[in-house]
Amino acid sequence: MPRFECKINKILLILISFSFLLFFGGQNCPAEKSPDSTAKFYQAKTIINIDSIKLSESSQYDMYCDYSGNLFILLEDQNSILKLSEKGALVEHIGGFGFGIRQFNAPVAMASPDGGLNLYILDSENRRVVRLTNSLKWIDQFQIGDEPGGKTIGELTGIAINSQKEIFISDPRNLRILKFNQNGRFLEEIEGRSKFIEPGEIVIDDEGYLYVTGRNGEDLFLFDDLGNYLKRYSPKDDDSITAIAVDRSYFYYLDSKSNSVKVFSKKLSYLFEIKPRINGDSEVVPAEIAAGRRGRILLLDINNNRIYGYDPVEK
């Protein structure tokens, strides 16, 4: 009888040990297909129709959401900036081709250091930065010299502003980021220790960390708030990075090859993917993304003339 009980005890111990292995092994195994569970993280809660706005695949866009949920859309091919209400109604408009007040020549990017109270527009071909109010009233501008830092600039491609109102501008010809104060005085250049492959779009987070795309769409670069190079990230899936955004929790980029949004930690560790659904018979063709309020990520669909608002949800 004791031998029989001993055998039973051994069997029970083996079963218990096996159960623990299954439980903790499952807990420690990383999810290999985390993008498949995207619906548990983000849902398209808002669809904003913007049928009155002419959108083209050949144009360059930028998008910004202010502290009240109003949306600003930059239309490079129309040399215009639009302000839309949270529901998509046109509120204000500024622009038209030219080099004077209220005119632009190839505006390519915009940024704000204060939730949209002031908007800074990079007017590329006019070689200037224009400051507008939230209602798109012209405040002032500063010209970007032909040779900041002793190097002749070419095309300008991106702008970002930190909380101290220091302005960062991409200069792809010279493989650097230019840094100015709010009055347009040149401060320094950030070269990334020769890491850059023609910098393109740039964004800055609430801690002052700078995220820069390679203009080839294949690389990301991260700098700290002092301009020190930290990291280079090159996607493994042949992604083509066409737009970037950052908020308090995540960094995002738009991959034009898969028409999806890739979500990262702020230290550029990949987390998951947001894959826009097909809208009826028309494919969603995203051209720009922006960080919205309360963790929302906004996506501009130029094929259906819509803006989708994806909200984070609990599992």
Q: Which of 30, 65, 24 is nearest to 293 (CA)?
A: 65
The three-class DSSP label of residue 39 is helix
Q: How confident is the model at residue 71, as a pLDDT? A: 98
Domain ranges of the chain: 37-312
The answer to whether the Cα torsion of 139, 114, 126, 108 is positive or negative is negative
Q: How confident is the model at residue 215, as a pLDDT? A: 83
Residue 203 · residue 244 · CB < 8 Å: yes
Q: How confident is the model at residue 30, as a pLDDT? A: 31
Pairing of strands 118-123, 107-111: antiparallel
Q: Which CATH fold topology does 37-312 show?
A: Neuraminidase (2.120.10)
> CA distances (Å), 115 to each of 86, 142, 309, in order?
15, 21, 18
**DSSP secondary structure code for residue 153 in this structure:** -
pTM of structure? 0.85
Q: How confident is the model at residue 262, as a pLDDT? A: 95
Q: How far apart are CA 34 and CA 74, in angstroms?
A: 33
Q: Which helix (H) or strand (E) holds 13?
A: helix 2-28
Q: How confident is the model at residue 32, as a pLDDT? A: 32
pLDDT in single tens digits along all 315 residues of the chain: 444 444 445 544 444 444 433 333 433 333 333 444 454 578 888 899 999 899 998 999 999 999 999 999 999 999 999 999 999 999 999 999 999 999 999 999 999 999 999 999 999 999 999 999 999 999 999 999 888 888 899 899 999 999 999 999 999 999 999 999 999 999 999 986 556 778 999 999 999 999 999 988 889 999 999 999 999 999 887 899 999 999 999 999 999 999 999 999 999 999 999 988 766 668 899 999 999 999 999 999 999 999 999 998 865
Q: How far apart are CA 113 and CA 283, in angstroms?
A: 34
Q: How confident is the model at residue 150, as a pLDDT? A: 85
Q: How confident is the model at residue 18, as a pLDDT? A: 42
Q: How confident is the model at residue 148, as a pLDDT? A: 84
Phi/psi at 23 (5° precision): -65, -55
Q: How confident is the model at residue 16, as a pLDDT? A: 44
**DSSP secondary structure code for residue 279 in this structure:** B
